[in-house]
Amino acid sequence: MDVTLQVQPQTALDAGEKIELEWLRQEYAQLLEQKKALEVRVHKSEERRRALMHILSDLNTLNRKLADQRKAMIHILADYEKDRSRLARQTERLDNSRLALMHILQDAHQSNLRLENSRKAMIHIMSDLCETTAEVQRREQELREKQEQLVQAGKLATLGELTTGVAHELNNPLNNIGLFIGNAIDLIKLGMADSQHSLQELHSAMQQVRKATEIISHLRTFGRAAPVSYEPVAVNQVVQRAISLIREQLRLRQIEVVLHFPAEDVIVTGNPIQLEQVFLNLLTNARDAMTDAKHKVITITCVSTENMVEISFCDTGPGVPAELKQRIFDPFFTTKEVGAGTGLGLSITYGIVKEHRGTIMVGDLPCEGACFLLQLPRERS
């Protein structure tokens, strides 16, 4: 504040007062200087205060920023810790995976070694298998040849049994041939030869020759060892041919044959010679079974279904005992006396039927006798 000193004018001042007044002036000047200095200082202080306020404001802003940055850093550190933990776990998993991979590689190496050993063993096994297969094929071929030889032996044995009847079958046409030719010769010698009558006698003789030729041709065909081939076969015709070979024996033993066949031909796929052997074996088996029977009848029935042909051979003999039905098709099994049979007939029959993809079974008739039922697949167009 301003200090104004009012000095009353005096006319006469003493020396002491002058000194004091000068001192007061000096003091006043100093006070003014001090006041100015203080004002300057106050102004500077105010500026410093203002600057400090700005600095404090900036510091406050910086503190807020630092706080935000500290929070952000804390989040970053937390994320880093999470990432470090996750990375540690991944590193651990990678180490475990690496160890597992090492074990897998070791196992794979061992497996490769075992596989190599197995491959070598397999090569030896395949070599042995090839040799075994070749040996089995050779044995099968030998077995097939033996079976064919056995079938052929069975046919020859059957022909041997039928020799008497076949000789009688041939004797009749030979006697007739001799009779017809003798009549023609006698007519010529007596001069009574009539060309028409002589030709009739010679034609009759030729018919008997053809009959004998058919019998011999049938025997040669049946007894011939030929490769097995399959073709469409009429069952009724094969049965008739089989009956023709044994007809004389059946007649001599007073055995009647009854046929029940459809009007049309029943066709199967097979070998006619082998099927004839099957039917002939069943006929001879029925013939021998009815040796002591009073009423001797062989009934042959053929029934055709959609897929199969069923042929039954039934006789009026004593039948087959139940304890023998499981063995009746075994090789060399026979119920006949020693020397009366080979035991191969039904075994050969069973084998031939199986080769024709068929079945054969034996049963008993309700009243008496045995009945063999064959089932053969029908021939398909």
Question: What are the tens digits of pLDDT across the range 223-269?
Answer: 555 566 788 989 999 999 888 878 878 888 899 999 999 988 889 98
Q: Are residues 34 and 130 in the same domain?
A: yes
In a domain, 140, yes or no: yes
Q: Are residues 178 and 42 in the same domain?
A: no
In a domain, 52, yes or no: yes
Q: What is the mean pLDDT of residues 68-80?
A: 89
Q: Are residues 258 and 312 in the same domain?
A: yes
Q: What is the DSSP string of 8-44?
A: ---S---HHHHHHHHHHHHHHHHHHHHHHHHHHHHHH
Q: Are residues 51 and 190 in the same domain?
A: no
Among candidate residues 225, 259, 276, the one where a domain is terminated = 225
Task: Give the Cβ contact number of residue 277 at 10 Å.
Answer: 23
Prediction pTM value: 0.50
In the chain, how many domains are there?
Answer: 3
In a domain, 331, yes or no: yes
In a domain, 71, yes or no: yes
Question: Please, are residues 269 and 307 in contact by the beta-carbon 8 Å criterion?
Answer: no
Residue 297, strand partner residues: 256
Strands (E) across the chain are located at 231-234, 256-260, 267-270, 297-304, 308-314, 359-364, 370-377
The whole-angstrom distance between residue 157's C-alpha and the CA centroid of its chain comes to: 44
- 348-375 tens-digit pLDDT: 788 888 888 999 988 766 667 888 999 9
Q: Are residues 206 and 269 in the same domain?
A: no
Q: Are residues 87 and 176 in the same domain?
A: no
Burial 111-149 (b: 16+ CB within 10 A, else e): eeeeeeeeeeeeeeeeeeeeeeeeeeeeeeeeeeeeeee
Tell me which residue range forms the domain holding 168.
Answer: 162-225
In a domain, 369, yes or no: yes
Q: Residue 161 pLDDT > 60, yes or no?
A: no
Question: Please, are residues 259 and 239 in contact by the beta-carbon 8 Å criterion?
Answer: yes
